[in-house]
């Protein structure tokens, strides 16, 4: 992404060259960046008068008194303060973007569910109108839980901006390329990468290559963080330096613009006469970022047995109860399988956590059929699941040589809260009505005599 490729009129800070062009490396760092020389005050946050006539404004992502190490805020130096980026709010209906709690008596969220990829309709859909909620969990009003969505985007937002006061968004593209022009800089995103858009951050989404489809996890709770690695030590899994935060970029544009806000599950819009993406310089640790899933270094079984999938956690959003996440974002990417005398795919199980999976590309080993790229499955709290019959047969009889599990990338949004289907997921999305039958053909193998069958 060079200055030349940026939206017209946007000015961007000089950033690091090479692989980090346009981005600064590191997870949770205290960054500083300025798109005009001298725009960032040194030695203090609130000078009596800021350079270039800018306004100083703090964006607090955690309570002022959150413990150090969790405390996140960013100081912005902007052309206008945010109070001028919102006018009068008017309610706005967005029937497909749902928020917890969204309990419906007439939609029974019971059963193991799977959906074919949701086709991108032949109509103009933006990041806002193309969001389709599949499940909701918890309750936005007490800032716990999450929602899972599929986005179907065919058109760029023009003079239109969005922010969510409810949530941070984890974006997992599956098809197409998107550009997020945010208050704090520009992020370009393609399949096999993810982005995090923090709560309260204003942005516009452009289609670089469409149509674009992907998954979103909307986190109502505490922010995503890197998991503790425990005995794994200081390296592997997702390494901090592979996260990238954009350098400052701003536009000084006086055009009639619409700002859409999501607040406690309701949408509102407001009209202003300029672009709100007017932050010329900023410093702090509350910022959007992206991460290339191909840089994830999985650690796994090197002698026998299949470990719990938590070993593949990329990011975790704590719930307040140690080890029991509001959301774990878990990645199943290519890797070597070397376990001896073991059933290598995932085992059969029931889980107190609720598991929503999506396929980014390739084949998932526990479900060689029917879980296509773009597809989704939901194995809810305590609902049993595991390999389908063909996967079980193949893995039970395979010669256990080292084998590369190749051409595969799926993920899981795992939450401690039960996930409830939306009406869209139950009635409009291409649900596989016969999904439960994938386990029907598993034979009874027990005949009362010892020995493996
Ligand atoms: O396919 C699943 O259900 C996800 C999953 C993967 C795994 O390796 C172990 C347990 C598990 O829930
Ligand atoms: Fe599972």
pLDDT digits (tens, 9 = 90+) for 373-429: 999 999 999 999 999 999 999 999 999 999 999 999 999 999 999 999 999 999 999
Instruction: Provide, rounded to the nearest whole percent, the portion of the chain with pLDDT above 70.
Output: 99
Q: Which CATH architecture has domain 296-433?
A: Sandwich (2.60)
CATH number listed for the domain at residues 8-293: 2.60.120.10
Catalytic residue among 306, 341, 407, 420: 306
What number is the average pLDDT over the span 126-131? 98
Question: Residue 25: exposed, middle, or buried by beta-carbon count in 10 A (0-12, 13-18, 19+)?
Answer: middle
Q: Is the CB of 379 within 6 Å of ligand 1? A: yes
CA dist 6 and 246 (Å) reads 13
Q: Is 306 a catalytic residue?
A: yes
Q: Is the CB of 367 within 6 Å of ligand 1? A: no
Output the pLDDT for position 4: 60
CA dist 337 and 391 (Å) reads 15
Nearest atom, ligand 1, residue 379 CA:
3
403, 424, 412: which is closest to 378 by C-alpha?
412
Helix (H, G, I), strand (E, B) or coil at 393: helix
Residue 18 banded pLDDT, cuts 50, 70, 90: confident
Atom 8 of ligand 1 has which residue's CA nearest to it? 346
Residue 1 banded pLDDT, cuts 50, 70, 90: low
Output the pLDDT for position 89: 93
Q: Is the CB of 333 within 6 Å of ligand 1? A: no
Q: What spacing in Å lies between the alpha carbon of 108 and ligand 1's midpoint?
A: 24
Nearest atom, ligand 1, residue 351 CA:
12
Output the pLDDT for position 367: 87
Residue-wise pLDDT tens digits, 431-452 = 999 999 999 999 999 999 998 8
Tell me whether the CATH fold assigned to 8-293 matches the one assigned to 296-433: yes
Domains of the chain by residue range:
8-293, 296-433
Q: Is the CB of 355 within 6 Å of ligand 1? A: yes
| Residue 3 scores a pLDDT above 70 | no
């Amino acid at each position: 992404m060079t200055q030349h490729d940026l939206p017209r009129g946007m000015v961007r800070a000089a950033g690091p060259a090479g692989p980090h062009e346009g981005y600064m490396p590191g997870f949770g760092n205290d960054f500083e960046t300025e798109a005009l020389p001298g725009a960032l005050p040194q030695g203090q946050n609130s000078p009596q008068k800021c350079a270039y006539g800018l306004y100083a404004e703090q964006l607090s992502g955690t309570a002022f008194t959150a413990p150090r190490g969790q405390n996140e805020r960013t100081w912005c130096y902007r052309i206008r303060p945010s109070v001028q980026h919102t006018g009068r709010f008017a309610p706005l209906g967005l029937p497909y973007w749902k928020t917890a709690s969204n309990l419906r008596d007439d939609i029974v969220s019971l059963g193991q569910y799977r959906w074919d990829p949701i086709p991108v309709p032949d109509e103009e859909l933006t990041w806002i109108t193309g969001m389709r909620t599949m499940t909701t969990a918890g309750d936005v009003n007490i800032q716990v839980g999450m929602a899972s969505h599929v986005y179907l985007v065919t058109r760029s937002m023009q003079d239109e901006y969005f922010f969510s006061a409810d949530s941070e968004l984890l974006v997992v593209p599956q098809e197409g390329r998107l550009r997020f022009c945010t208050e704090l800089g520009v992020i370009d995103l393609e399949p096999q990468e993810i982005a995090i858009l923090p709560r309260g951050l204003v942005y516009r989404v452009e289609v670089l290559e469409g149509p674009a489809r992907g998954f979103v996890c909307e986190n109502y709770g505490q922010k995503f963080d890197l998991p503790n690695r425990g005995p794994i030590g200081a390296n592997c899994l997702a390494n901090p330096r592979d996260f990238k935060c954009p350098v400052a970029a701003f536009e000084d544009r006086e055009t009639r613009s619409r700002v859409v806000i999501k607040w406690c599950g309701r949408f509102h819009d407001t009209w202003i006469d300029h672009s709100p993406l007017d932050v010329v310089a900023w410093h702090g640790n509350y910022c959007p970022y992206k991460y290339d899933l191909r840089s994830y270094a999985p650690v796994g079984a090197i002698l026998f047995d299949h470990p719990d999938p938590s070993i593949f956690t990329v990011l975790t959003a704590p719930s307040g109860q140690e080890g029991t996440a509001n959301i774990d974002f878990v990645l199943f990417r290519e890797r070597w399988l070397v376990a001896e005398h073991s059933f290598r795919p995932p085992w059969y199980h029931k889980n107190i956590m609720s598991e929503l999976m999506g396929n980014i590309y390739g084949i998932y080993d526990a479900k060689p059929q029917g879980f296509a790229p773009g597809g989704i499955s939901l194995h809810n709290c305590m609902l049993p699941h595991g390999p389908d019959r063909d996967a079980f047969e193949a893995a039970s009889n395979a010669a256990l040589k080292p084998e590369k599990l190749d051409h595969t990338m799926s993920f899981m949004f795992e939450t401690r809260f039960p996930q409830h289907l939306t009406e869209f997921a139950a009635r409009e999305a291409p649900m596989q009505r016969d999904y439960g039958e994938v386990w029907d053909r598993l034979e009874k193998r027990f005949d009362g005599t010892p020995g493996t069958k």
